[in-house]
Amino acid sequence: MAVISYREALRAAMREELKRDENVVIMGEEVAQFNGAYKVTEGLLKEFGPKRVVDTPISEAGFIGLGIGASMLGIRPVMELMFWSFSYVAFDQVVNNAGNIRYMSGGLINCPIVIRGPANGGTNVGATHSHTPEAILASHPGIKVVCPATPYDAKGLMKAAIRDNDPVYVMENTILYNDKGEVPDEDYIVPIGVADIKREGTDLTIVAHGRAVITSLKAAEILEKEHGVSVEVVDLRSIRPLDEETILASVRKTHRALLVEENKPFCGVDAQIAYLIQARAFDELDAPIGRVSSIDAPQIYSKKLEDLQLPYPARVVEAALKILA
């Protein structure tokens, strides 16, 4: 096991897949010569050359669409969006084309494309650059969406995504890029659609994804130390497919659920999960389901305020105590 950063884990996954499969191509703005706006693809151009690692103009609709088209012929493009916020100018390609072609062709065609990049707030860049579209995109059948929270999951999910035969959208987080964690030296994948218990507990289940997992783990620590509460943290890892059984099993064990995400509340991922829990484990609940999400407004620029707009440990603790009261 080596301790590497989330960024390095993503890069290692791409490097290994570039080596394993000659159909894998990395494409995006500034990914090659500039080594990536966030340095995720650093060194890949040097190692694999310009046929495999390709800089594009600022034409998201064009190059994402091109990637989808190429994937129909068996290329495995791994497309970087400098920010997932920029997927909005390519929405027709991302949703209508990648998500529907297999269905509309009656299963004749598939699109093994990966689109990846950061999707997070918290970096003081204002509303246009802080979107978290995992719920919006996961609401479209035909698309898979994963949100790794740790270096281990980042590498394993990225490799699984590249080998997957459907469109997989990997939502990273710039704030996590420098986080370090243990990652196996040997080849492994994290299967898409399998949640992970990041911390075991008996009194309360927190369900989270992406950076909200890290926030929830911090909150769980405080809850145990200061309030003697044993919290289980379920990391979804994958939004669609959604590992319903792991969520339900945890709720059946703790009988209380708090859902934490960095999305805005309306139609967030957790709205679906709350429905799931009440539909399939209603009798198991000892308290109403709680939710913590970002304050419902476009992302504010002001750094201090943005930190308060997003879920932070104290807010999660407060919401947990309310459920436990």
Partner 1 sequence: MAKNAVITHPESLKRPAGPSEYAKDPVNASLTKADKIALYTKMARVRHFEQRCIRTYQQGKIGGFLHLYVGQEAVAAGTISLLGKFDHIITGYRDHAHGLLVGMNMKECMAELTGKVTGCSKGKGGSMHYFAPDKNYWGGHGIVGGQAPLGTGLAYAVKYRGQKGSCLTYMGDGAINQGAVHEAYNLAALWDLPIIFVIENNGYSMGTSQERSTAHPGCLAKRAEGYNMAWDVVNGHDVYEVRAKTAIALKRAHEESKPTILEIFTYRYFGHSMSDPDKTYRDKEEVKGYRETKDPVFLFEKELLNEGVLTKELVESINAAAMEEADAAAAFADESPEPTVADITKHIYWEEDNRGPKTTSRGTIIFE
CA distances for 181 relative to 16, 44, 124, angstroms:
19, 22, 26
Rounded distance between C-alpha atoms, residue 163 and residue 112, angstroms: 8
86 binds partner 1 (CB under 8 A): yes
Q: Which of 5, 23, 123, 230 is close enough to bind partner 1 by CB under 8 A?
A: 123
CA angle 181, 151, 80 (to 5 degrees): 150
User: Closer CB to ligand TPP, residue 56 or residue 238?
Assistant: 56
Rounded distance between C-alpha atoms, residue 72 and residue 91, angstroms: 18
Contact at 8 Å (CB) between 194 and 165? no
Catalytic residue among 8, 17, 60, 172: 60
Q: Cite the DSSP H helix spans in 122-200.
A: 134-138, 151-163
300 binds partner 1 (CB under 8 A): yes
User: Closer CB to ligand TPP, residue 99 or residue 118?
Assistant: 118
Rounded distance between C-alpha atoms, residue 312 and residue 222, angstroms: 12
User: Closer CB to ligand TPP, residue 58 or residue 279?
Assistant: 58
Q: How far is the CB of 80 from ligand TPP (least distance, A)?
A: 11
Q: Which of 82, 115, 175, 208 is close enough to bind ligand TPP by CB under 6 A?
A: 82
Contact at 8 Å (CB) between 278 and 248? no
37 binds partner 1 (CB under 8 A): yes
- Among residue numbers 7 through 66, which ones bind ligand TPP (CB under 6 A)? 29, 58, 60
Q: Which of 2, 104, 109, 127 is close enough to bind partner 1 by CB under 8 A?
A: 127
Q: Encoding tokens for residue 58? A: 């600022």
* Site of interaction with partner 1 (CB under 8 A): 29-30, 33-35, 37, 55, 57-62, 85-86, 88-89, 123-129, 264-266, 295-298, 300-305, 308-309
